[in-house]
Amino acid sequence: MTRRLKSDLGWSTADRIVVRGHDLVELLGKTSLGDFAFLELKGRVPTREESIVFNAITVTLVEHGMTPSAIAARLTYLGAPESLQGAVAAGLLGMGDRFGGSAEDAAHMLQDALSQATPDADLRAHASRIAADHKARKQPVAGLGHPVHKPVDPRTAKLFGIAAENGLSGRYVDLMRLVGEEASRVFGRDLPVNATGAIGAIASELEIPWRVCRGLAVMARAIGLVAHLQEEMEDPLAAEIWSRIEDESSSHLRPGSD
Amino acid sequence: MTRRLKSDLGWSTADRIVVRGHDLVELLGKTSLGDFAFLELKGRVPTREESIVFNAITVTLVEHGMTPSAIAARLTYLGAPESLQGAVAAGLLGMGDRFGGSAEDAAHMLQDALSQATPDADLRAHASRIAADHKARKQPVAGLGHPVHKPVDPRTAKLFGIAAENGLSGRYVDLMRLVGEEASRVFGRDLPVNATGAIGAIASELEIPWRVCRGLAVMARAIGLVAHLQEEMEDPLAAEIWSRIEDESSSHLRPGSD
Amino acid sequence: MTRRLKSDLGWSTADRIVVRGHDLVELLGKTSLGDFAFLELKGRVPTREESIVFNAITVTLVEHGMTPSAIAARLTYLGAPESLQGAVAAGLLGMGDRFGGSAEDAAHMLQDALSQATPDADLRAHASRIAADHKARKQPVAGLGHPVHKPVDPRTAKLFGIAAENGLSGRYVDLMRLVGEEASRVFGRDLPVNATGAIGAIASELEIPWRVCRGLAVMARAIGLVAHLQEEMEDPLAAEIWSRIEDESSSHLRPGSD
Amino acid sequence: MTRRLKSDLGWSTADRIVVRGHDLVELLGKTSLGDFAFLELKGRVPTREESIVFNAITVTLVEHGMTPSAIAARLTYLGAPESLQGAVAAGLLGMGDRFGGSAEDAAHMLQDALSQATPDADLRAHASRIAADHKARKQPVAGLGHPVHKPVDPRTAKLFGIAAENGLSGRYVDLMRLVGEEASRVFGRDLPVNATGAIGAIASELEIPWRVCRGLAVMARAIGLVAHLQEEMEDPLAAEIWSRIEDESSSHLRPGSD
C-alpha cells in the first residue's frame, strides 16, 4: 500500500560515510568542490575534460556583482544577523524565471528540440523552426542577446572554446549557435548567444536535465552570496540603502511634501 | 550626510566582467569552483596547498544523506515545482544553529581564544580553561563528540592529515585537539574532535572569520540540495512522506479513532 | 534619468504612523487583523459585508493540517531554532503552483474571461468555451474537483452562501459555478467547484487582481505555520520524522541490506 | 521504539474539516482572521475582550513602510515573478533578532522575571534588578526607547489603554512600565516603553509563550509584504533600486573612475 522510501545519495554508519557509492574520506584531498558537485549530480566522478567544462560553467554563475539577489541578502542580514542561512536563502529566492531561469530555458529548448532527433538531423532546420516559432509568438528566444554585454558576450566564446577543446562541443552547442544565427535573421537584429545560452547548451552536452540547470545557477550563486555577506559584515551597506529608499519613497506623503 | 555605497566583489562593462579584480574570462577553464569560492572569500586565488585544504573542508559539507534539510527541500518542491530555488532555499533554512552552526561555534571558540594570544601562548592552558568554562556552564563544547560517528569521526583524522600535509596545521588545529583532550578529561567521557570541529579549526588556519564559517556549510549544502531535488524529480518521495505523516499525526482525532 | 521611488503604503514621523492614509493609532482597537489586511490591499477599510466575506475566504486558507508546508517548517525549526522566521519562510515556500496557485489560477481564468465582457455577456457560453478549451488541451480546470472532499467540498457552499448573503455574489461566482457544470458535462465526470475555486471567484468579486490571490493563501498560511511551530516547540515531531525517513531511505544501501 | 506522530491542529474527511476541534465551515462568516489566529495559537475562540486586544497587537505589526524586508521582497519578485511566495518568504527572513525579535525579547524578559513570582511579588524590585543587570552588562533593555518615535511611541499608550479597557492589563504590563522607569533612572536618559515592549507585555498577558512572540510579527508582516508586492506589480521600484545601487557601489572599480 505504501511506497518504499529510497534515496541513493548518501548514508553513513559509525565509521563510514558514503556519497553516491564513494567513500567520502577517500575522496577528501583528491576531489575538488566542483568535481564533487558533478559526482552528486551524475553519480560518477568527472573525467578531466568534463571537470574543466563543468567547473567553467558553474564558475561563470557565482558572482554577478551587486544584483537584486545580493542586495536582498544584505538587507535580510541587517534584520536577522543570527541567521546567515536566511540571508543566503533570501538572495537565492531571486534566482527565478528572470535570472536563474534563462540557462534552464535555453537547455529546455535545446533538449526538447533534439529529444527525438536522429543522428543526421538537420540542425539548421531545427534552429530555423525555433526562431520562427518564437517570432510568431512574439517571444524572445532564451539564451540570446544581452542588455549589457553587446555586441558579444565575452563569456560565450570562452565557454564554447573550453567545451570544444575538451571534446564536449556537440549538437547542443551547434544548435544553440544556429538558433542565434536564425533568430538574428528572423528578428532582424543581432542576437548573439549569451552566457546563459552557452551554459544551457554545454550543460546539455553534459547530459544534465534541463530542469536541473536552474540548480547550477542556484548552487553557484550561494557561494557568491556568502561572499557578499562577508563583505556586508565588514563594511555594511544595508542600513544606508534602507534609509535612502525609505526616505525617498515616502517623501510625497509626508507633511509639507508638496 | 549619506554614506557612499561600495562593493569590491565584481563589476562589468560591455566587454569585460571582473570578479575580485580578476578578469572572469581569463579564469574560466583554469579555476575550479572551489578555488573560485576561495577567491570570492579571500580576494586572491589559493595556493596549491590552500586549494587542497579548502576544497576538502567544503566537500565534507555537501552531502549528509536524508537530513531534515533534504526532506524539507523535497516537500517544498512538491508544492512549488515552478521554483527550484525556493526548494533549495527551504532546505538551506535548516542549516542554522543546530546544524550549520557547529563549525561556526568551533571556529568562534578558537578564534576568540587566540585573538590576543602571544606566539608562545600555552595552548594546553587555553584548552583547559575552555573545557572548564563549558563544564561550569553545563554546556557542550562545540566541535566535540558525535551521536553517530563513535568513537572517532573518520573525517577528522583525514582532514587534519590533509591540513598537515599541506602546511596548514597550526595553532588552531593544535588547540582544537587539546580542547578535545581536556574536555574528555573534565567531562569524564570520550569527546573526540568531530568533523565540524576539524572544519572550524582548519577554516581558522585559512583565516576565514568565524562568522563566515556557517556560510561554508550553506554554500556546500546548496550543491547537495540540488542533487536531492534532481533525485526527487526522477523518483519522488515527498507525496508518500506527506501522506504517511498526515495520516498518522491526525489519526487520534478522527471519528472512531479511540 | 532616474525614476523617482514612491510607495503609498505607509510612513511615519516622531509622533505619527500612517498606513494607507489612515492614522494607525486611531485604527487600533477598532480594526481587526483581517480588515486591516483588506485596507492594505484595497486602500480602504472594508464595508461590513466586505469584511465578512474577505475574512471568510482568508480564514479558509489558514490551516490544512499536516501539509508538506507544515512538515517542512517543523523540520527547518529543528535545525535552526534561533530563527522562527526561517521556519515559517520554509513552510511558505511550498505554497506554489500546486498548492497556493490554485485559487490564483481560478481567479486568473475568471478575470481573463470577463475582462472584455459586456454587462449582458452570456456566461454559460463563456463557461462552455473554457471547459472545451481545457478538454482540448487535456488540462484540468482550476478550481474544480478535489481528491478528498467528494462529491462536494463543504467549504464551497458555505463560502458562496456567505458571498450571496452579503451582496458579493455576482458574475464571477456565477461563471465559476457554470464552469463547474460545463466541465462536468465535457469531461464526463462530476467536477464540482472546490474551495480554491470559490475563493478565486469571491476574491474576483472583491476586485482583487488574480496575481495577488496566491498572496491571500500565503498570508493566511503564515498564521497556520506559526501555530504548527508552537506545537512543535511543545511536542516536537521533527526528529522522529527525520530518523524514520533517513533509516528507511538508505536501508537498501547499508551493509547487509540485500 | 518509535514515537507516535501526533498533531492537534487540524484534520479532514470527505465531508468535514476540523481545526482545533471546531468545524471550519461553522466558523466561516462568524470568525475573523485575527480571531482565527487566536484560535490556532490558544486552542479556543477569544472572548470579545481578548479579540480586541489580540487584533490590536497584531495590526500594529503589519505595516512599517519601506523596511529592509519590504525592499528585499520587491527585489526578489523582480528576479522570480513566478513565485510570489518566494518574495514574501525573502521579506520574512529579515524579521529576525533585530526586527521581529524585539517583542520576543521583551516577552522573554517579562515571562522569565515572573515565572516564579508569588502573587504579592514586588514588581518594582524586579524592574530595578532587570535595569541594573542590563546596565552592568552594558546591554540595552528590550522594549524600551525608539530611534524615531521620541520622546514617546504613540502606539504604546494606545495599546496599553486598549489592554486596560479590556481587563487585560496585569502584572506583565505593570512590570514593563516599571522596567521603563527604572531603566530611565539607571541609564540616565529617557527610555519609554516602545511598541514592541507593549506588544511583548500584552502578549504575555494573553499567555502567549515568549518563543511564539516573534511569530506574531512574522504572521502580521506576511500581510504587509503581500501588499508591498501588489504595489510592486502595479508600480515597480525594484529595477530602479538595483540599477542605482549597482552603479554606485561599483563606480570606484570602473575604468577611469579615479
Note the pLDDT of residue C189: 94
Question: Would the pLDDT of C72 be above 80?
Answer: yes
CA–CA distance, B241 with B249 (Å, rounded to integer): 12
Q: In this complex, do D68 and A76 lie within 8 Å of one another by their Cβ atoms? A: yes
**A:D CB pairs within 8 Å:** 142
Which of C85, C93, C240 is the best substitution to test chain B (most B C-beta atoms within 10 A)?
C93
Note the pLDDT of residue D101: 82
Question: Would the pLDDT of A189 be above 70?
Answer: yes
Note the pLDDT of residue B124: 97
- Chain A residues touching chain C at CB-CB below 8 Å: 4-8, 10-11, 13, 18, 80, 82-83, 85-86, 89, 93, 245, 248-250, 252-255
pLDDT tens readout for residues B76-123: 999 999 999 999 999 999 999 998 788 999 999 999 999 989 988 999
Q: Mean per-residue pLDDT for B223-242?
A: 97
Q: Mean per-residue pLDDT for B135-158?
A: 89
The alpha-helical segments, DSSP class H, found in chain B are 24-27, 33-42, 48-60, 68-79, 84-92, 101-114, 123-136, 154-165, 171-187, 195-205, 210-234, 238-250
Q: In this complex, do D68 and A87 lie within 8 Å of one another by their Cβ atoms? A: no
Tens of pLDDT, residue by residue, chain D (258 residues): 578 999 999 988 878 899 999 999 999 999 999 999 999 999 999 999 999 999 999 999 999 999 999 999 999 999 999 999 999 999 999 999 998 788 999 999 999 999 989 988 999 999 999 999 999 999 999 999 877 777 788 999 999 999 999 999 999 999 999 999 999 999 999 999 999 999 999 999 999 999 999 999 999 999 999 999 999 999 999 999 999 999 999 999 988 765
Asked if B71 contacts A67 with a C-beta cutoff of 8 angstroms, the reply is no
Instruction: pLDDT band for B257, please (50, 70, 90 cuts).
Output: low
* pLDDT > 90 in chain A, percent: 87
| C128 min Cα distance to partner chain A (Å) | 26
Least Cα distance to D143 among D203, D199, D68 occurs for D199
One-letter amino acid of B255: P
Task: Please list, in sequence order, all residues whose beta carbon lies within 8 angstroms of the beta carbon of residue D208, skipping any fewer than 6 positions away.
Answer: D41, D42, D107, D216
User: Looking at beta carbons, which residues of chain C come within 8 Å of A80?
Assistant: 83, 85-86
Note the pLDDT of residue C2: 73
ipTM score of complex: 0.96
Note the pLDDT of residue C99: 83
- Chain B residues touching chain D at CB-CB below 8 Å: 4-8, 10-11, 13, 18, 80, 82-83, 85-86, 89, 93, 245, 248-250, 252-255
Instruction: pLDDT band for A257, please (50, 70, 90 cuts).
Output: low
Question: Would the pLDDT of C132 be above 90?
Answer: yes
Sole residue written with cell 504548527: C228
One-letter amino acid of C58: T
Question: Would the pLDDT of A129 be above 90?
Answer: yes
Least Cα distance to D223 among B78, C233, C92, C65 occurs for C92
Q: In this complex, do B253 and D11 lie within 8 Å of one another by their Cβ atoms? A: yes
Q: Mean per-residue pLDDT for C138-151?
A: 86
**Considering only A210-224, A230-244, B88-102, which range has the smallest mean pLDDT?**
B88-102
Q: In this complex, do C5 and A249 lie within 8 Å of one another by their Cβ atoms? A: yes
Question: Would the pLDDT of B14 be above 70?
Answer: yes
Q: Mean per-residue pLDDT for B154-175?
A: 97
CA–CA distance, B8 with B21 (Å, rounded to integer): 8
Which of C219, C231, C233 is the best substitution to test chain D (most D C-beta atoms within 10 A)?
C219
Q: In this complex, do C86 and A85 lie within 8 Å of one another by their Cβ atoms? A: yes
C-alpha cell, B184 = 574528555
Reduced 3-state DSSP string for chain A: CCCCCCCCCEEEECCEEEECCEEHHHHCCCCCHHHHHHHHHHCCCCCHHHHHHHHHHHHHCCCCCCCHHHHHHHHHHHHCCCCHHHHHHHHHCCCCCCCCHHHHHHHHHHHHHHCCCCCCCCHHHHHHHHHHHHHHCCCCCCCECCCCCCCCCHHHHHHHHHHHHCCCCCHHHHHHHHHHHHHHHHHCCCCCECHHHHHHHHHHHCCCCHHHHHHHHHHHHHHHHHHHHHHHHHCCCHHHHHHHHHHHHHCCCCCCCC
Q: Mean per-residue pLDDT for C204-217?
A: 97
Which of D67, D71, D99 is the best substitution to test chain A (most A C-beta atoms within 10 A)?
D71
| B122 min Cα distance to partner chain A (Å) | 30
Least Cα distance to C36 among D56, D38, D28, D31 occurs for D56
Q: Mean per-residue pLDDT for B129-140?
A: 96
Using DSSP's 3-state secondary structure scheme, residue B207 falls into coil
Sole residue written with cell 488541451: C137
User: How would you class A226 by CB atoms within 10 Å of its CB: exposed for 0-12, middle for 13-18, buried for 19 or more?
Assistant: buried
Q: Mean per-residue pLDDT for A192-210?
A: 97
D151 preceded by cis ω (within 30°)? Answer: yes
Using DSSP's 3-state secondary structure scheme, residue C244 falls into helix
User: Looking at beta carbons, which residues of chain D come within 8 Å of C34?
Assistant: 32-34
Note the pLDDT of residue A1: 52
C-alpha cell, B17 = 566582467
Question: Would the pLDDT of A120 be above 60?
Answer: yes
| A122 min Cα distance to partner chain B (Å) | 30
C-alpha cell, A128 = 530555423
- D65, D83, D87: residue with CB nearest A246: D65
- Chain D residues touching chain A at CB-CB below 8 Å: 65-69, 71-72, 75-76, 78-83, 86-87, 89-90, 93-100, 237-238, 241-242, 245-246, 249-250
CA–CA distance, D156 with C69 (Å, rounded to integer): 35
Note the pLDDT of residue A75: 98
φ, ψ for residue A18, nearest 5 deg = -120, 130
Q: In this complex, do B40 and A85 lie within 8 Å of one another by their Cβ atoms? A: no
Asked if C76 contacts B93 with a C-beta cutoff of 8 angstroms, the reply is yes
Question: Would the pLDDT of C257 be above 70?
Answer: no
User: Looking at beta carbons, which residues of chain A come within 8 Å of B71?
Assistant: none
Note the pLDDT of residue D238: 97
pLDDT tens readout for residues C8-29: 999 888 788 999 999 999 999 9
User: Looking at beta carbons, which residues of chain B come within 8 Å of D85?
Assistant: 80, 83, 86
φ, ψ for residue A90, nearest 5 deg = -60, -45
Question: Would the pLDDT of C258 be above 60?
Answer: no
Q: Please, what is the average pLDDT of chain C? A: 95
CA–CA distance, C131 with B13 (Å, rounded to integer): 51
Instruction: pLDDT band for B1, please (50, 70, 90 cuts).
Output: low
Reduced 3-state DSSP string for chain D: CCCCCCCCCEEEECCEEEECCEEHHHHCCCCCHHHHHHHHHHCCCCCHHHHHHHHHHHHHCCCCCCCHHHHHHHHHHHHCCCCHHHHHHHHHCCCCCCCCHHHHHHHHHHHHHHCCCCCCCCHHHHHHHHHHHHHHCCCCCCCECCCCCCCCCHHHHHHHHHHHHCCCCCHHHHHHHHHHHHHHHHHCCCCCECHHHHHHHHHHHCCCCHHHHHHHHHHHHHHHHHHHHHHHHHCCCHHHHHHHHHHHHHCCCCCCCC
Question: Would the pLDDT of A258 be above 80?
Answer: no
- B67, B80, B245: residue with CB nearest C97: B80
Question: Would the pLDDT of C149 be above 90?
Answer: no
Mean pLDDT: which of A247-251, B96-100, C150-154, D201-205 is highest? D201-205
pTM of the model: 0.97
Question: Would the pLDDT of C109 be above 70?
Answer: yes
